[in-house]
Chains A and B, each alone.
Chain A
Amino acid sequence: MQKAVKRIYMSIVFLFLYAPIIVLIVFSFNKSKSRGQWGGFTFDWYFDLFKDRQIREALYFTLLIAVISTLVSTIVGTIAALGISNMSKIGRTVVLNINNLPVLNPDIVTGVALMTLFISTRIELGFVTMLIAHIVFSIPYVILAVLPKIRQMNKHTAEAALDLGATPAYAMRKVIIPEIMPGIISGALIAFTLSIDDFVISFFTAGTSVTNLSILVYSMARRGVKPTINALSTLMFTTVLILMLIINKKTDKGEDIII
């Protein structure tokens, strides 16, 4: 009895959480253009998506920015995490708190702040500014993903490599980086997901020359919701879902991930 109650309660919670997305997915296959009526099953909206030049371009920018910002933020974040782990205790606490602030800061504040910065330094808003913004907001997450892996490592691991004759560079390449690789990969996945996912910060830093998928969905929705938006949103949701599953699978293997 008690078990049944628990199950029902859980189901209701999940229903509330996922009902909107399920509706969205269902309607992305709806033949009727109406938002309330079911007109039969179709893949048309998905084909329409790829015929639309605007959407193809937005997809291109979204992926390009996600890939570059993931690469850069992962490298910068990993180096930063290695540095932080070698700091004194006080220094580490200070830097980590500074690092955590942007994570907790509302996206809108970060977005407006970045926009203000770019405009005041007379950098024209566009692809580059959006890319910089994505790199900036991803780095703290990469640091948070890599640090626990460094902490897990025996503190003498680097010394052991040197002891066996490895130069510092060789030790970094063949021992330290491989040892913390699971953390680096989760950091990269998180950065990639965040970049694809982001609307608010992109919206303020993109200017008018570039558009990514989330900005496109937003502007399309303002002009009235077309069924292609449902299809596009479904695809974005699925991509993020797959990434999350990969991240979680890695966590199951006993590897540390935050978030």
Chain B
Amino acid sequence: MSKNLIELKNLTKRYNDMTAVDSINLTIKENEFVTLLGPSGCGKTTTLRMIGGFEDPDEGEIFFEGKLLNDVPAYKRNINTVFQRYALFTHMNVYENVAFGLRVKKVSNDEIDRRVKRMLKMVDLAGFEKRNVDSLSGGQQQRVAIARALVNEPKVLLLDEPLGALDLKLRKEMQIELLDMQRSVGITFIYVTHDQEEALTMSDTVVVMNKGVIQQIGTPEDIYNEPINRFVADFIGESNIIEGVMLEDYKVSFDGLVLDCVDKGFALNEPVDIVIRPEDIRIVVNPDEGMIKGTVTSVVFKGVHYEMIIESDKREYLVQRTVMFPEGSVVGMNVQPADIQVMKRGDVPCSKEEEEG
């Protein structure tokens, strides 16, 4: 088991009356790819900036290899950052941008040359040394920014929405390139994004944040298949969220139905939220063979599948299937017990302001 590299303890940041980051605790291991995921304003970038040393926490501690990092200025931290929109030095060419960190550390010219060339080769920019950074495409600038950070051989690389400015196709390519780089250099990546798909694709661990509070920490599979609350279920992928009641262990009820599920440990008749992913609802042609009867009210072709809205007498269900059922047809819907995710209600973590308000 690799050891802990960074620990955040009760880390808090306030701006005037607003609590941007509210007492978060997080442990990041060596070589881990951790993603902070959440909507804008959830505190993910502020958290990253506190680790980088660009914001001072109001409360709590940051530990780096067991040592307190709070009072260490940014330029003395063995952490490098890839900034939003890269923040390259436009008056320097590609080579000098990448060499900057080494020149600051007074590394010998031979060594600088060797390391910069090797790094540019790694990010596939060999031959671009003399180019002006403004003349590069977005993807190339992105790679210069990564090379400029990685050439310093930091223990941790912070990435603040590094792919946000790229178009979809390039973004997908860069996701794979970034993953390859992270594996080949063996550096801890702390990655900030609001793109849930990006987070699921790349991370070892996803940290879902909302309103300055960590909602859930887990592997991409955990986060997707077993969201801890309504917010996570809603933010990660599409879902049908239904209010129901847990009758007893393995039995949940909603809309007058009683269904088997795989969850236990709730109080008798405890109100809960139920998540059913749209791809987990199976459709049968004969309405009487389904647990739930409904009418198809909308069909949208999405490429891989059809997205249908099926209305029962109680609610609408979002369903994704590769087989299309025409609008107006009456069908039956079935859900496997394992595909019903039951979540506690009322324990939604939220910031203090919200509790007071």
Contacts and interface: CB of A to CB of B under 8 A. Distances in A.
A85 interface: no
A166 B85 CA distance: 20
Given A159-B54, A170-B104, A164 B152 contact: yes
Interface in B94-112: 100-101, 104-105
B75 A157 contact: no
A128 to B, nearest CB: 37
B318 interface: no
A137 B90 CA distance: 32
Interface string B77-105: 00111011111111110000000110011
B152 A156 contact: no
B74 interface: yes
Contacts of B73: 162
B194 interface: no
A164 B148 contact: yes
Contacts of B74: 159, 162-163
Given A165-B152, A167-B75, A179-B91, A160 B104 contact: no
Contact of B104 (A155, A157, A164): A164
A39 interface: no
B75 A160 contact: no
B220 interface: no
A243 interface: no
Contacts of B92: 178
B38 interface: no
Interface in A105-163: 153-157, 159-163
Contacts of B105: 165
A175 interface: yes
B271 interface: no
Contact of A154 (B54, B80, B86): B86
B212 interface: no
Q: How large is the interface on B (under 10, 10 to 19, 20 to 34, 35 or more residues)?
A: 20 to 34
A159 B104 contact: no
Contacts of B53: 162-163
A58 interface: no
B330 to A, nearest CB: 57
Contacts of A170: 104
Contact of A165 (B90, B91, B101): B101
A93 to B, nearest CB: 19
Nearest to B52: A163
A144 B287 CA distance: 73
Contact of A160 (B76, B79, B83, B91): B83
B89 A160 contact: yes
A164 B84 contact: no
A161 B83 contact: no
B89 A179 contact: yes
A181 interface: yes
B104 A165 contact: yes
Nearest to A159: B54
A167 B79 CA distance: 15
Which of A153, A163, A179, A181 has the most chain B CB atoms closer than 10 A to its own CB?
A163
Nearest to A166: B104
Contacts of A167: 75
B331 to A, nearest CB: 53
B87 A162 contact: no
A104 B339 CA distance: 71
Interface string B179-212: 0000000000000000000000000000000000
Given A178-B91, A179-B89, A162 B83 contact: no
B104 A156 contact: no
Contacts of A163: 52-54, 74-75, 79-81, 83, 149
Contacts of A165: 75-76, 101, 104-105, 152
Interface of B: 52-54, 73-76, 79-81, 83-92, 100-101, 104-105, 148-149, 152
16 contacts: A154-B85, A155-B87, A157-B89, A159-B54, A159-B74, A160-B83, A161-B100, A162-B54, A162-B74, A163-B79, A163-B80, A164-B100, A164-B101, A164-B152, A165-B75, A168-B75
Given A165-B105, A175-B89, 18 more contacts: A156-B85, A157-B89, A159-B74, A159-B81, A160-B88, A161-B89, A162-B54, A162-B74, A162-B75, A163-B79, A163-B81, A163-B83, A163-B149, A164-B75, A164-B104, A165-B76, A165-B152, A179-B91
